[in-house]
Amino acid sequence: MPTKYKNRLKRTRDRYTARSDYEKSQARARYALNSDAVRERSTVRMQTDTTSINKNRVRSASYMKKRIADDVQYRERNRVTAAHSKMRRLETDEAYHAAHVESAKEYKKRKLQSDEKCHAAHVESAKEYKKKKLQSDEAYHAAHVESANEFKKKKLQSDEAYNAAHVKSAKEYKKKKLQSDEKYHAAHVESAKEFKKKKTTE
């Protein structure tokens, strides 16, 4: 664009900005002088203007609440719209998403503490998820076995009652195994002989 047109455009824009600023300042001055009259006129309009009354009525929380309670179709439409709005906001607003996650965790925590049915269902669901995860994920299964072994080892060292019960259970299992499994029984006898032989040599 040639320079003369640029300058003409700039002058036009400057004149428009100056005129706009002047009109705004004049409007603010008029309102400062006549604010009481303006407020009174607005109050009267709200009482007599059917259009404004209808707009305010539709926007009012009490009206919306009553309509949602009474109108099934409107309630369903409102629910779908709210769900879409919430989904879009969760996708685009990171702060809202983070706050939503924290709120959901807090709600779930309170629900699990106060609602026995919810707690029981949650435990059952967690067990089912863990069972499927152990069957389908080898790395998770291996980590679970490792963790269980480590827990058992610490428990045997720190809990005398648990250790005594474990020893008793192991003896009971060994006794049944010797009675029911011939190969295990034969290997046990062989091992006992080998142990006795070494003991005698020493």
47 in the same domain as 2:
yes
> Is there a single domain that holds both residue 41 and residue 16?
yes
Residues 152 and 188 reside in one and the same domain: no
Q: Which two tokens stand for residue 126?
A: 């967690």
Looking at the 3D structure of the chain, how many domains does it have?
4
35 in any annotated domain:
yes
Q: What is the pLDDT of residue 192?
A: 80
What DSSP designation does 71 have? -
- pLDDT reported for residue 2: 67
Q: What are the tens digits of pLDDT across the range 66-114?
A: 888 999 999 999 999 999 999 999 999 999 999 999 999 999 999 999 9
In a domain, 104, yes or no: no
- pLDDT confidence band for 193 (50 / 70 / 90): confident
Same domain, 52 and 66: no
Q: Read off the pLDDT band of 39 (50, 70, 90).
A: confident
What's the pLDDT at 145?
92
pLDDT at residue 138, as a whole number: 93
- The answer to whether residue 52 sits within a structural domain is yes
pTM across the whole model: 0.45
Closest alpha carbon to 108 in 91, 90, 126: 126
Same domain, 67 and 54: no
Query: Residue 75 falls within a domain, yes or no?
Result: yes
Residue 1 pLDDT more than 60?
no
Tell me, yes or no, whether 101 lies in a domain: no
Q: What is the pLDDT of residue 87?
A: 93
- 99 lies in a domain? no
Examine the domain organization and report whether 2 and 55 are in the same domain.
Answer: yes
Q: Are residues 4 and 42 in the same domain?
A: yes
More reliable by pLDDT, 52 or 122: 122
Residue 164 covered by a domain: no
With respect to residue 190, please indicate whether it lies within any of the assigned structural domains: yes
| 15-19, 33-37, 131-135: least confidently modelled range | 33-37
Task: Answer yes or no: do 115 and 77 share one domain.
Answer: no
Q: Backbone dihedral region of 152: left (phi > 0), alpha (psi from -120 to 50 degrees) or beta?
A: alpha
Q: What is the pLDDT of residue 60?
A: 80
Domain extent at residue 78: 61-93
Shared-domain flag, residues 65 and 55? no
Q: Are residues 152 and 189 in the same domain?
A: no
In a shared domain, residues 30 and 45: yes
Is residue 16 domain-shared with residue 5, that is, in the same domain?
yes
**Longest CA–CA separation in the chain, Å:** 118
The Cα–Cα gap between 49 and 76 comes to 32
